[in-house]
Structure 1
Amino acid sequence: MTKALFLAHTAAPSGAELATLRLVAALHDQGLLDVGMVYTEDGPMVERMRARGVETRVLRGRFDSRAMTIGAGPLRLVAGFLGLLRLGWALGATARELGANIVVAESSKALVMGAVAARRARVPLVWQVHDRLAVDYFGRLPTLVLRLLGRLVSRGYLANSRTTLSTLPVGRRRALVAYPGVELGTDAPRPGQRPPADTVVTVVGRLAPWKGQDVLLRAVAAAKVRPRQVFLIGGTFFDEEPYRAELERLARDLALPVTFTGHVDDPTEFLRDTDILVHSSVLPEPFGQVVVEGMHAGCAVIAAVPGGPAEIVEPGVNGLLVDGGNQDQLTAALDTLIGDAALRTRLAAAARLRAKDFDITETARTVAAFLNDIAQRNGAAGTPHSPERAPHG
C-alpha cells in the first residue's frame, strides 16, 4: 500500500490544518492509504491528529512559523527560508525512515521543506494548495517565487477549489480539484428559524482583516432590524491580535450585541443555534469550509464572492451571495433574510441537502487514487494531463 507522508509547518488549528486533519483521518479510517503526518512545531493539531489514530511526529528545528508571514522583512524571509531548507533535510530522513512513497506539502512553507525532503527520500512531491496563489494575497514577488518553485519541484497539485486551481501554474503536471470535505454524521435536530428581532447571526473564521468581520459589523449596524445576537467565532493567529481589538472597539461604538468566543475547536453547537451564517471575506476565498459547515448545520447562509463559495452556493436556492467587501449588498442580504423567516427556512433546508455533496469520504477516495497513481510513477514527469475534479457537483 502507498505510504503518504503529509507535511505541515504549523500545528495551529486554522482552516487549512483542520481540512488536513479531516482528509488524513478519512484516508486512514477507510484504509485507502498508509498515512503519516509530520509537524515542524508542537500545537493543538498534533494531539488531535494522534487521537484519530494517525502516526504523527513533531520535528522541531530552528524555524519560527511566523518568520515568513506576509509582510515580513527581507532578512526575516531569508532566515526563514534557510530554516525551512534545514528542516527539509531532516524531514527527508524521516520520510525514508517511515518508508514514504510520496510526500504531500500542506502549505507554501511546507512546499519548500518538502522539496528538500522528497529529493533526499527520492520520492515524488505533491503540493496541496489551500490558498489562491495570487498577488492580492501573497504579494508580487512571493507569488512569482512560489509559482516557479511549484513548477520545479512538485509532481502534482491538489487544489481545494476551481478558484484555487485557476491560480496555479499546472502546465504538464497532474492536478486535481478536491474540495475540503466535511464529516457529515447525522442531521441532528435544531430549533426552527426565529422571528426577525430574535435572530442570531454567526461568523466563523480566524479574526483577520481579509476575513471582513469589520464589514459584517457595519452591515449589521445598518440593517433595518438588528439581530438579537452576533457571534464572532474564531481566534487570532500570526500577530493578528490588534485586529480583534479593533473589532471590539467597533462593536462597542456601534452598540452591537457581539460575543467574541475566541477559537472554538468544534463550532457545531453554535451553528445549530444560528439562524444566519455570514461568510464575509473581502478577498476571494480559496474554498470556504465554514460555508459548507453552516449549510450542514441548517443555517441560512450569506457568502461572499468571487471565490470558492460561488462553487458551493446557488443563489436564491440554498443561500445568498454578495460581492466581498460590499457593505451595502451585505446589509441588503441581511435585511432580506432577517425579515423573512420562511425564506430562511427554505434556504436552510436546501442547504442541508447541498452540504451532502461535500462528504469527506468521497474526497478521500478521489485523493487516494490521485496519490496512488503519482506514487506508482515514482516521480516521473509523465505525459500531459488536463486538470481533474472531484465529483462534488
Structure 2
Amino acid sequence: MKILFIDQSGQPGGAELCLMDIARPYRDRCLVALLVDGPFKDLLEQQQIPVQVLAQQSIEIRKDSSLWLALSRIPALLPLLGQVVKLARQFDVIYANTPKALVVGAIASLITRRPLVYHLHDILSASHFSHTNRQIAVTLANRATLVIANSHATQAAFIEAGGRPELTRILYNGFQPDNYLIPLHEQEALAKELDLNRDTFWVGHFSRLSHWKGQHILLDALALCPEEISALFVGDALFGEADYVQHLQAKVKDLGLENRVRFLGFRNDVPQMMSLCHLITHTSTAPEPFGRVIVEAMLCGRPVIAANAGGATELINSGQTGWLCESNAPQQLADQIIFCHQHPEQSQVIAKAAQQKASQDFNLSVVNQQLAQILQPLSSEPT
C-alpha cells in the first residue's frame, strides 16, 4: 500500500511526532507532504522518510477562525490542492494528519477517488475550535473512509459534534520504550551542562508555551511550595503566542520565583530532560486529546501529575500510575507536588507501575501492527 501523508505544520508538535512514527514503516512506499516548511522536514529526512514541502508560508486559518476568514483563504488553497491532486494519483491512500491537511486531502480524495484517512489528534469542542471550523472538520471527516481518533476523548467529541461513529477507530500514540531509559552518566553530564543543582527537587513541564497548556498554573502552584522545589519549562511559543511568554516571565518576577524557574526553550532531547526531573506535571486548562508528554514521563520512570480531563484520564489511574488534579487548581497541584517531594519512595513505586503499564499499552511496535490491520481493508478500495 502506497500512502500519501499530509500535514499542515513545519513544527514538530505531538501530531507530527506521531506521524513520523506511523510513516517510518512505510518509508519505502510513502511520501509526507508538508503544507509549510520547517524543522519537521529535517526530522523526517533524518529518519529517511520521503518528504516534500508544498508551500513556503502557512495558510493563516486558526482554530478560532470565522467563516468569513475561512472563505477568504480558499484562493490560497488552490495551488496546494493542485499539487496534492497530482501527487495523490501516484498513491493508494490519502492520509490527512491535521485539520488543514484534511481540507485539501478531502477535496483531493473526491477528485482522484482515493480513499481518505483522517487521523484526529484534536478534541472538536468549543474550547479548542470555533463553530465554523468544527463544522468544516466534521463535514469533511464524514466523507472519509476512516477516522482514526487518538483517544476515546477525541472520538467522543467527534461524534458529539456530528461525526459518524461507524467511521471511527481508536489508536493511541506509540512509543519506543528503550528510547526513554537514560543511563545515569548521561543524566549527570546533561545536568552539569545545564548547571542544574542535583539537590534541588525539579518539577518538569514539557509543552509548547501556550495559555491552554497552563504553565501559569504551575507557577502559581510553585509559589505555594517550599523553596527547595523548582521548575523546568521545556518548550517554546508557537502560532503567535509570544504575548503569553511575556506574561509568564512577568509572573515569575511578581511571584519572586526568579531563582526557582528555568525556561529552556524547545529541545530535541525530551527523554534526557525528563530524566533530570523528580516529577512531571501536565496542567492543560482544556481537555487534552491524548497527552503525549504524560506517556513519555511514565516511560522515563518519573511520577506524573496530570489535569483530570480528556485523554489524560485514559492514561493515568490516579493514585496507582500517577495522579489527576482538577484543571486550574494551583493549591491542589501544590499539595500533590509537596506530597511527592515528601514521599519519594511511594512516588517511585507509582512511577515504576506507570512505566510498566506504558511500556505495554503504548509500545510502538504493537501500535503499528494495529494500524496496519486498520488500514488493510483500504488496500482493496477501488481507485
TM-score, with normalisation over the residues of structure 1? Answer: 0.87
Which one of the candidate residues 290, 294, 308 is aligned to 2:293? Answer: 290
The alignment status of 1:46 with 2:44, answered yes or no, reads: no
Cα deviation for residue 378 of structure 1 reads 3.2
Residue of structure 1 equivalent to 2:194: none
- Give a deviation string over 1:325-355, Cα, whole Å, max 9, x none: 2222212211211221112211221121122
Cα deviation for residue 276 of structure 1 reads 0.5
Are the aligned partners of 1:305 and 1:322 in contact in 2 as well (CA < 8 Å)?
yes
Residue of structure 1 equivalent to 2:236: 235
Are the aligned partners of 1:292 and 1:355 in contact in 2 as well (CA < 8 Å)?
yes
Cα deviation for residue 43 of structure 1 reads 0.8
Are the aligned partners of 1:132 and 1:164 in contact in 2 as well (CA < 8 Å)?
yes
Which one of the candidate residues 30, 33, 38 is aligned to 1:35? Answer: 30
* Amino acid corresponding to residue 332 of structure 1 in structure 2: D
Cα deviation for residue 74 of structure 1 reads 5.3
The alignment status of 1:375 with 2:379, answered yes or no, reads: yes
- Give a deviation string over 1:245-267, Cα, whole Å, max 9, x none: 11111112212211111111221
Residue of structure 2 equivalent to 1:206: 208
The alignment status of 1:304 with 2:307, answered yes or no, reads: yes
Are the aligned partners of 1:89 and 1:120 in contact in 2 as well (CA < 8 Å)?
no
Residue of structure 2 equivalent to 1:247: 248
* Amino acid corresponding to residue 101 of structure 1 in structure 2: D
* Aligned counterparts of 1:15 and 1:235: Cα–Cα separation in 2: 14
* Aligned counterparts of 1:270 and 1:312: Cα–Cα separation in 2: 21
* Aligned counterparts of 1:252 and 1:360: Cα–Cα separation in 2: 42
RMSD: 2.2
Cα deviation for residue 236 of structure 1 reads 0.9
* Aligned counterparts of 1:83 and 1:375: Cα–Cα separation in 2: 32
Residues matched between the structures, number: 366
* Aligned counterparts of 2:23 and 2:340: Cα–Cα separation in 1: 37
Of stretches 76-85 and 51-60 in structure 1, the one that deviates more from structure 2 is 76-85
Which one of the candidate residues 335, 338, 355 is aligned to 1:335? Answer: 338
* Amino acid corresponding to residue 335 of structure 1 in structure 2: I
SS in 1 for 2:219: helix
Would the alpha carbon gap of residues 369 and 110 (structure 1) be closer, same or farther in structure 2, given more than 3 Å must change?
Answer: same
Cα deviation for residue 311 of structure 1 reads 0.8
Are the aligned partners of 1:84 and 1:109 in contact in 2 as well (CA < 8 Å)?
no
Query: Unaligned regions of 5+ residues in structure 1, if any?
Result: 380-393
* Aligned counterparts of 1:166 and 1:71: Cα–Cα separation in 2: 20
Would the alpha carbon gap of residues 86 and 336 (structure 1) be closer, same or farther in structure 2, given more than 3 Å must change?
Answer: same
Are the aligned partners of 1:85 and 1:116 in contact in 2 as well (CA < 8 Å)?
no
SS in 1 for 2:114: coil
* Amino acid corresponding to residue 377 of structure 2 in structure 1: D
Would the alpha carbon gap of residues 125 and 85 (structure 1) be closer, same or farther in structure 2, given more than 3 Å must change?
Answer: farther
Residue of structure 1 equivalent to 2:77: 84
The structure whose RCO (Cα within 8 Å, separation 6+) is larger is 1
Residue of structure 2 equivalent to 1:145: 136
SS in 1 for 2:157: coil
Are the aligned partners of 2:65 and 2:133 in contact in 1 as well (CA < 8 Å)?
no
Which one of the candidate residues 221, 243, 258 is aligned to 2:223? Answer: 221
Cα deviation for residue 41 of structure 1 reads 1.4
SS in 2 for 1:138: coil
SS in 2 for 1:103: strand
- Give a deviation string over 1:64-111, Cα, whole Å, max 9, x none: 34x101344655432324423441232010121xx2111111111111
The alignment status of 1:347 with 2:350, answered yes or no, reads: yes
Runs (4+) of structure 1 exceeding 6 A deviation are: none
The alignment status of 1:360 with 2:364, answered yes or no, reads: yes
SS in 2 for 1:120: helix
* Amino acid corresponding to residue 288 of structure 1 in structure 2: G
Would the alpha carbon gap of residues 227 and 114 (structure 1) be closer, same or farther in structure 2, given more than 3 Å must change?
Answer: farther
The alignment status of 1:59 with 2:62, answered yes or no, reads: no
* Aligned counterparts of 2:198 and 2:106: Cα–Cα separation in 1: 54
SS in 2 for 1:133: coil
Which one of the candidate residues 101, 105, 125 is aligned to 2:116? Answer: 125
Are the aligned partners of 1:89 and 1:116 in contact in 2 as well (CA < 8 Å)?
no
- Give a deviation string over 1:346-383, Cα, whole Å, max 9, x none: 1221121122021111111111221221232337xxxx
Identity percentage of aligned residues: 27
Residue of structure 1 equivalent to 2:145: 155
Are the aligned partners of 2:67 and 2:132 in contact in 1 as well (CA < 8 Å)?
no
Cα deviation for residue 227 of structure 1 reads 4.3
* Aligned counterparts of 1:70 and 1:37: Cα–Cα separation in 2: 23
* Aligned counterparts of 2:326 and 2:198: Cα–Cα separation in 1: 24
* Aligned counterparts of 1:118 and 1:327: Cα–Cα separation in 2: 47
- Give a deviation string over 1:24-48, Cα, whole Å, max 9, x none: 12x237x8xx322110211111121
Residue of structure 1 equivalent to 2:6: 7
Residue of structure 2 equivalent to 1:390: none
TM-score, with normalisation over the residues of structure 2? Answer: 0.90
SS in 2 for 1:353: helix
